[in-house]
Structure 1
Amino acid sequence: MDYPEKILTISIAAYNVQQYLDKLLASLVAPEVLDDLEVLVIDDGSADKTADIALKYVKRYPESFRLIRKENGGWGSTVNCGIRTSKGKYFKLIDGDDWFPTENMENFILFLKKAKSDLIFTPFYEADDRTERITGIKGDILKSVTGTVEAFARLPQGSPLAMHGMTVSTKFLRKNRIHVTENCFYADLEFVIKTVNCCKSIEVFHEPTYVYRTARGGQSVSNEGFAKHYQDNLIILRKLLHYCETELICKENEAIFVQRLNEAVQGQYWAFLCAKPSPLHKKELKEFDAWIRENYRSYYESCKWIKIRILRLTRFYGYGCMVRLHHWRQM
């Protein structure tokens, strides 16, 4: 089938999300603008009924919904696949366990029809996984912004730097060859930083366009997820520290990237403490700490986390006790 160009492509990273996918796809069915919407369900080698659920929507709305099946390659591979195959003027990522606030879709499409910027920022909701009740909003600080700005650094201090609040020109993504690491967790930060680094114009749409499901067991950002995938976080962190050191385009963005990467460094320390205590994990933690100290001294010194500072002072002698204390306090 020859798919026509659309205003917005929503690319869904879908891996074993049969429990959540129907809610997400139903939230994208806005009859007033369905002709302007392309929904790519990128099935990343699911072993459940993810593809079957997607096919129901493909059959009902063949001009708007597409299912792309591929071998498992991780979240980043679904992003790269979506960018390659998108037919939309703008491109938005949504994880398969989250959803879109349908009531804002029509206004969002109308906004995108007139938009000319590389990047559109929007607020996004957070929702409790169990009740699906909205618990908060991120990016509401953007409500003071009107018109187009030329750099992210000119947005209000504290503006969210997260994939959930970003919609990006597809031509911009291809022109700048935005590509993220495959077969690796935490590549969303790589997508955000590479995109913001390259963009030259930003607009803000003031209604939320994403509902992010929080506190779900097994999420990569949960304590369990950090413990399991701490090496992936380290891979992305190393890449981005080097990227921002060597490929920074807009100097105005440097302070923002430093803040976001500092959070990622602290997250790596957190991940090591979430992992089960072992001689190997202790060795890896010490090596990471030494590497940060030798190569990125400012990030090393900015760590105010008392547990890590105590470990440094004791030359990591109290590692096992500190990790057990950390686990106990997270229960």
Structure 2
Amino acid sequence: MKKISIVIPVYNSEKYLNKCLDSILRQTMQDYEVIIVNDGSDDNSQSIICEYASRYPGLFTFTNVENGGQGRARNLGIHMTSGEYIVFIDSDDYIAPEMLEVLYHRAKEKNADMVVCNYIIVHENGDKEEVISKKFMSQKDMFIDPDVSPCNKIYRGEMLRNSDIHFPEKVFYEDTAFYLKLLPDLGTIISVDDFLYYYVIHGNSSTHGEQDCRVKHIFYVMDDVLKYYVNTNNFYKFYYELEYAYVKILLCSSMGRICRVKDKHFRKKMQKETLYKVNSRFPDYRKNPYLKHGLKAFYMKHAALWNISGCTFLMRNLKIHQI
């Protein structure tokens, strides 16, 4: 068994893939495997993958599938792993040379189920922005102030392989569902202060571009989360935390995207559906114990169709509208 399995979903990443794979080859820890899932790329990505698999036999394993989205590719990759721990890397990103060694040793030292590191956002113009990851004290804390990206973390392999946790397929915002589903199974959670992951922002990044059709995917994703909690008998155990997370994600980060939709008719439709979803799923959410103080809590309690666009604009400009 390898110490770490790295899962990389690839879709039309020929411009960035070499840098991603080279950053893995430069790791200070060598006991790892790389699982690449080519998600129906129609550029030169497959040629690059074959080149690395040929040059480093036994290190790189790949499979080609019809395009089914990043969530499906990651799910397939998880089931191909054998490592003690699993790391996700997006094919347009790259990692620091010591990332695997630091995260693995910290995980082993504390017998952790998950270890989180800081990361650096790399903009297309070359500018870099350091982001300090959230430090969680408990499972419940992770609902209230989530850090949904799967890429700046290391996970216990058997926890992912031997559970029903998966990324929703053929939708966007799949990271949110995976993160929330994972929380009940987490024991020890550790953070490190090192900046080890480089998240590259460009015009084709899956979380950017604000395509109108994507915003409605969040409804399916969040209902998928609720269904998972019901099926695993965790719904009432984490009721208030789940209620808060559901409302916060729909009224804050999701509503921020909806309010930037250019089609006025579609924008109003999505705003109405958001408010309907929130009030039908959790009609008493305004009594939630986590909705006590601050401008964001005030907004969430009083959000209505007549004020939601103005409130969202204000919150975004005050930089307090993120999840």
TM-score using structure 2 length? 0.79
**Residue 191 of structure 1: how far off its partner (Å):** 1.1
Q: Which deviates more from structure 2 when the two are superposed, residues 159-168 or residues 24-33?
A: 159-168
Letter in 2 for 1:197: P
Counterpart in the other structure of 2:123: 129
Supply the distance in 2 between the matched residues of 1:277 and 1:140 (Cα, whole angstroms). 35
Gaps of 5+ in 2: 292-296, 318-323
Counterpart in the other structure of 1:145: none
Letter in 1 for 2:92: D
**Residue 106 of structure 1: how far off its partner (Å):** 3.3
Is the partner of 1:163 in helix, strand or coil?
A: coil
**Residue 184 of structure 1: how far off its partner (Å):** 1.0
Contact 2:106 2:115 in 1 (8 A): no
Match of 2:160 among 162, 173, 178: 173
Match of 1:261 among 227, 237, 246: 246
Supply the distance in 2 between the matched residues of 1:225 and 1:300 (Cα, whole angstroms). 29
Listed one character per residue, the Cα deviations across residues 267-294 of structure 1 (whole Å, up to 9, x for unaligned) are 3322332223243543343233223223
Distance 1:226 1:258, change over 3 A: farther
Counterpart in the other structure of 2:35: 40
1:206-225 map, 5 Å: 206-214=193-201, 216-222=202-208, 224-225=209-210
Percent identical among aligned pairs is 22
Distance 1:299 1:239, change over 3 A: farther
**Residue 59 of structure 1: how far off its partner (Å):** 1.7
Contact 1:16 1:48 in 2 (8 A): yes
**Residue 298 of structure 1: how far off its partner (Å):** 5.0
Alignment partner of 1:59 is 2:20: no
**Residue 14 of structure 1: how far off its partner (Å):** 0.9
Contact 1:120 1:168 in 2 (8 A): yes
Letter in 2 for 1:312: W
Alignment partner of 1:274 is 2:260: yes
Contact 1:18 1:53 in 2 (8 A): yes
Counterpart in the other structure of 1:283: 269
Match of 2:10 among 14, 26, 34: 14
Match of 2:149 among 134, 138, 162: 162
1:45-124 map, 5 Å: 45-112=40-107, 116-117=111-112, 119-124=113-118
Counterpart in the other structure of 1:138: 132
Letter in 2 for 1:14: V
Larger fraction in helix: 1
Letter in 2 for 1:209: L
**Residue 109 of structure 1: how far off its partner (Å):** 4.1
Supply the distance in 1 between the matched residues of 2:204 and 2:93 (Cα, whole angstroms). 14
Contact 1:120 1:205 in 2 (8 A): no
Distance 1:7 1:255, change over 3 A: farther
Number of residues of Structure 1 aligned to a counterpart in Structure 2: 303
**Residue 246 of structure 1: how far off its partner (Å):** 6.3
Listed one character per residue, the Cα deviations across residues 146-174 of structure 1 (whole Å, up to 9, x for unaligned) are xxx8x43478x857453233211111112
Counterpart in the other structure of 1:240: 225
Is the partner of 1:67 in helix, strand or coil?
A: strand
Letter in 2 for 1:167: I
Contact 2:121 2:198 in 1 (8 A): yes
Counterpart in the other structure of 1:192: 179
Is the partner of 1:178 in helix, strand or coil?
A: coil
Is the partner of 2:94 in helix, strand or coil?
A: coil
Distance 1:225 1:30, change over 3 A: same
Supply the distance in 2 between the matched residues of 1:250 and 1:133 (Cα, whole angstroms). 42
Is the partner of 2:67 in helix, strand or coil?
A: coil
Letter in 2 for 1:30: R
Supply the distance in 2 between the matched residues of 1:33 and 1:201 (Cα, whole angstroms). 23
**Residue 8 of structure 1: how far off its partner (Å):** 0.6
Supply the distance in 2 between the matched residues of 1:264 and 1:295 (Cα, whole angstroms). 13
Gaps of 5+ in 1: 143-148
**Residue 250 of structure 1: how far off its partner (Å):** 9.3
